[in-house]
Amino acid sequence: MNTLNTFPSNPEGRDFVVGDIHGHFKLLSALLQRLKFDGERDRLFSVGDLIDRGPDSVEVLDWLSQPWFHAVRGNHEQMLIDGVSGNGDIPRHIRNGGAWLYELAPQLQKELAKALQTLPWIIEVDLPDGQTIGIVHAEAPLTQKGDDWQQAKQALSGQLGEICRLRALSMTLYARGKIEEQNHDSIKGIHRLYVGHSTVPNVTRLGNVVYIDTGCSFGDGALSLVELNSETVTYMTMSQ
C-alpha cells in the first residue's frame, strides 16, 4: 500500500469525488447514469467507507477493478482488513454494519481484504487550472499545531517517527475535531481537501475542507458527488 496516490490533471474529461458509499453501489450507479458518466474520459474518486451497512458491499471488488475508480481507505475498510487478519474487533465490526463479511467464504473474505489493503491513505488530484485537490477519509492528519499539508503527509508516511505516524493514522481514519469545533481555518499547502466520515445534512465547507458524507446509509440521507473543477454538487436520496 502507498501512503499517497497522485493523479495528473484530466483535461479530456470530468473528475468527481463521492461521499461514503457504504455498500450502496446501485445508488451510485444510478447517480453516475444521471450525470452521463463516461468511463473512457471521466474519473471517480472516493473518500472511503465503500462497504458495510448497505446491500451491495461485496460489489466493491468489481468497482475497484475499474480503471476510472479510485478510493482512499476508510475506517470500515480498516475494520474489514483487521477482522480478516485476526487482529480486529469482530463484534464491533458487526455492530457497525459488517455482518455480511463473516457470512462469506473465507477465501472471498481474504480476497476482499487483499484488495482493500492496496488503498492509500491519501489521494491528490491535479486540476487543469493548476490547483491540487486532496482526499482523505476523516480529517487531515495535522498532528501538531501549525502543521501544513506537507507535514501531514510526512507524519502519515512515518517520516516524523512512529508515534506521530500512529497518531496521524488515527486522525486520518477517525478524527472529527475540525467539524465538531466548526473550525473554519484553511489547511495550508492544498487548495481543497475532500473528506467523509462525519455525516452532514448537506455538503459542508469549513475553510478549504469539504465534508461530503451526506448519510447515504440512513433512510433520510443521500449520496453526494462533487465535480472537482466546477465544485457542482449532485446528489440522490435514499428514497429515489
**What pLDDT sits at residue 240?**
64
Domains and CATH numbers, the chain: 4-237 (3.60.21.10)
Q: What does the pLDDT read at residue 1?
A: 61
Is the pTM value of this prediction over 0.85?
yes
Query: Which grid coordinates are listed for 82?
Result: 483487521
Residue 238: per-residue pLDDT: 80
Query: Exposure of 49 by Cβ count < 10 A (0-12 exposed, 13-18 middle, 19+ buried)?
Result: buried
pLDDT value for 129: 94
Max intra-chain CA distance, the chain:
48
Looking at residue 102, what DSSP letter applies? Answer: G
Say how many C-beta atoms besides its own lie within 10 A of residue 104's C-beta.
15
User: How far is residue 125 from each of residues 118, 162, 204, measured CA to CA in Å?
Assistant: 18, 27, 20
Q: Are 90 and 103 in contact (CB under 8 A)?
A: no
Question: How many angstroms separate the CA atoms of 102 and 50, rounded?
Answer: 17
Catalytic residue of the set 76, 93, 137, 197: 76
Q: How many other C-beta atoms lie within 10 A of the C-beta of residue 114?
A: 12
Query: What pLDDT was estimated at residue 50?
Result: 98
Instruction: Determine whether 70 is an active site residue.
Output: no
pLDDT attached to residue 72: 98
pLDDT per residue rounded down to tens, the chain (240 residues): 679 999 999 999 999 999 999 999 999 999 999 999 999 999 999 999 999 999 999 999 999 999 999 999 999 999 999 999 999 999 999 999 999 999 999 999 999 999 999 999 999 999 999 999 999 999 999 999 899 999 999 999 999 999 999 999 999 999 999 999 999 999 999 999 999 999 999 999 999 999 999 999 888 899 999 999 999 999 999 876
How far apart (Å, rounded) are the C-alpha atoms in residues 17 and 15?
Answer: 7
What's the chain's Rg over C-alpha atoms? 17
Position 239 scores a pLDDT of 73
Helix, strand, or coil (residue 42): coil
List alpha helices for 15-144, DSSP H: 25-34, 60-64, 75-85, 90-93, 106-117
Task: Residue 57: count other Cβ atoms within 10 Å of its Cβ.
Answer: 24
Q: Which three cell numbers stand for residue 173?
A: 481514519
Please report, for residues 36, 43, 158, the alpha-carbon distance to residue 40 in angstroms, rounded to integers and kept in the order given.
12, 9, 36
Residue 206: what pLDDT? 98
